Amino acid sequence: MRATKAERPSLDPVTGRSAGARQVDSPNFDPRPAGLQPDLIVVHGISLPPDEYGGPWIDDLFTNRLDPAAHPYFAEIAGRKVSSHYLIRRTGELVQYVSCNDRAWHAGMSVYEGRSNCNDFSIGIELEGTDTTAYEPAQYRVLTDLVLTLCDAYPSLSIERLTGHSDIAPGRKTDPGIAFDWPRLRALLRMRQAYGYPA
């Protein structure tokens, strides 16, 4: 039996906020261009410090509280004003930093299908991980749920409108990397659409 929308994780289209996500408000956002709705989902990978998981550091980076003295790598990035709409930790915890109705600062200089400034029309989802370490099954499950919820909330989105950070910023970015299993995600999305929840 096909799942109903009520069975899926919810997103309030007025606020652009997801019920069930831990909310951590980032100051690093601005309005989308007038009349523009998100029509692309960009998958990223992040770990802070590099190759380490857990801890408050991703939250701190996206809220401009990263202590440059806490780790040698942090001195390089502490002043950057960046954010993402979501983070999916390796445990499957979902964190939201920016309303989906606003423009998060996740893509940087980027191009998709000839359109530049992907932040204008995309939703950014960070996965806690590295380019070469397998992502966790819980992350694929939560990502699948989230993508389908976003597609329900924004008619301009579909499960075909997914890309990686490396695809929109080739040569500059490599994430989510070779460890990210795109066929697995696409198979989960098709299965959940066809047969409902859980997979």
Q: Which positions are catalytic?
A: 126
* CA distance linking residue 20 with residue 38, whole number of Å: 21
Query: Beta partners for 127?
Result: 45, 88
Which residues, other chains included, contact 178 with Cβ-Cβ below 8 Å and sequence gap of 6+? 131, 132
Alpha carbon dihedral 198, 167, 125, 89, in 10-degree steps, equals 80
Closest CA to 66 of 78, 49, 50: 78
